[in-house]
Homo-oligomer: A and B are copies of this chain.
């Protein structure tokens, strides 16, 4: 990238852009609903994330225009002598701007930030359908050492 990428903490005003980025995607398009306005649940989620010191939701910008988003969750576990780890979720780059190094810049920023916060690991899960994403994470040094299991819970 010739242009400078700025990473900054997301604000409430960014919620529509975040939803747009999440929805603009092979899997996201099936599960995010924003055609009739941004659902209140996204704003509620933003507020929950925003007031939690262990959560960091950020925007990537180029010349004031949103180009990506990701979220880091810091979790302390008992294993590995009580190690803190960083979970990265919701890594999305604008669909028109892929393969230009923006995702790599964002991930390298996230890894640096996780080191600053004293984390011993960075981890993330990626849907098995996202083969391109897997090659991308492997190029960044991540190892696909784990199976990622999910169970959907029905509303009661």
Contacts and interface: CB of A to CB of B under 8 A. Distances in A.
A126 B150 contact: no
Interface in A108-152: 111, 114-115, 119-128, 134, 137-138, 140-152
A71 B82 contact: no
How many copies of the polypeptide does the oligomer hold? 2
23 contacts: A19-B78, A28-B79, A39-B81, A39-B82, A41-B81, A45-B78, A45-B82, A49-B78, A52-B76, A54-B54, A71-B77, A75-B87, A77-B89, A79-B90, A111-B153, A120-B152, A123-B149, A126-B146, A126-B147, A127-B146, A137-B149, A144-B149, A147-B147
Nearest to A44: B82
Given A76-B45, A78-B19, A150 B156 contact: no
Chain A's interface size range is: 35 or more
Interface of A: 15, 18-19, 22, 28, 31-33, 39, 41-46, 48-49, 52, 54-55, 57, 69, 71, 73, 75-84, 87, 89-90, 111, 114-115, 119-128, 134, 137-138, 140-153, 156
